[in-house]
């Protein structure tokens, strides 16, 4: 089974709205990473949050981490059509980095 | 222009054929990875390598083989033993784990393999 699992599976919003995606994981971690994938392309790293951090920002992205609940959220503020993509969280499982199934975000203009 | 490249972008294979997917990086990364992605699913690790001439199986290594003769290159061969090879294949690289922490992975653009 996947270490990290995102929800929702799909999200459709209007341009300008905020988008929130969640990731839950099962075992303790050193860090959690978020990636974006545009259709038919490779993944692009967005942000890494360490286990001793609770919140991190990068431009319009805000990531939170709650290690007691084993969950993380990715918030994209003031979304744009160009944010349309799949978003994955990645966490450690043993000696591997494991990716969830992703959230498909569609931003309508 | 640093980065990671994969070729070809599209590849068609007849049943019973072996095919090799290329992955090259000029980021001076020690670690390289191969993932398989099926529609609507996350990435599954096929093989990874942390040093030249050494590699380890991931979660779905059966039917695949790799080599790591140079730091920059990590080709993946999809053999005829792989029963359902049609998928999107992604190569990635990173610096080695430091202090037990996984670092950011840099991905290539992917190769879409279709079995005819």
Question: For every one of its 116 residues, what pLDDT tens digit does chain B have, with 9 covering 90 and above?
Answer: 569 999 999 999 998 899 999 999 999 999 999 999 998 788 999 999 999 999 999 999 999 999 999 999 999 999 998 989 999 999 999 998 877 778 899 999 999 999 98
Is B89's Cβ below 8 Å from some Cβ in A?
A: no
A-B Cβ pairs (cutoff 8 Å, strict)? 55
Determine what percent of chain A is predicted with pLDDT higher than 70: 97
pLDDT in tens, A12-65: 999 999 999 999 999 888 899 999 999 999 999 999 999 999 999 999 999 999
Residues of chain A contacting residue B92, judged by C-beta atoms under 8 Å apart: 42-43
Residue-wise DSSP of chain B: ---EEEE-SEEEE-TT--EEEEEEE-S--SEEEEEEE-TT--EEEEEEEEETTEEEE-TT-TTEEE--SBTTB--EEE-TT-S---EEEEEEEEPPPBTTBPPPPEE---EEEEE-
For residue A1, the model assigns a pLDDT of 46
């Amino acid at each position: 089974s996947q270490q990290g699992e995102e929800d929702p599976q799909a999200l459709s919003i209007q341009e300008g709205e905020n988008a929130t995606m969640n990731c839950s994981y099962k075992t303790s971690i050193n860090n959690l990473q978020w990636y974006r994938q545009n259709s038919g392309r490779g993944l692009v790293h967005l942000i890494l949050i360490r286990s001793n951090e609770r919140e991190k920002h990068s431009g319009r992205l805000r990531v939170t981490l709650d290690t007691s609940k084993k969950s993380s959220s990715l918030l994209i503020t003031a979304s744009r059509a160009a944010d349309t993509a799949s978003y994955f969280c990645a966490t450690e499982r043993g000696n591997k980095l494991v990716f969830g199934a992703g959230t498909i975000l569609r931003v309508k203009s | 222009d640093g980065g990671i490249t994969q070729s070809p972008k599209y590849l068609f294979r007849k049943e019973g054929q072996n095919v090799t997917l290329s992955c090259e990086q000029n980021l001076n990364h020690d670690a390289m990875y191969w993932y398989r992605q099926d529609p609507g699913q996350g990435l599954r690790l096929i093989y990874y390598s942390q040093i030249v001439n050494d590699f380890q199986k991931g979660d779905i290594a059966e039917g695949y083989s790799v080599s790591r003769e140079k730091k920059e290159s990590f080709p993946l061969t999809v053999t005829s033993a792989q029963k359902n090879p049609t998928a999107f294949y992604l190569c990635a690289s990173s610096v080695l784990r430091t202090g037990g922490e996984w670092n950011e992975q840099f991905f290539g653009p992917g190769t879409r393999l279709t079995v005819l």
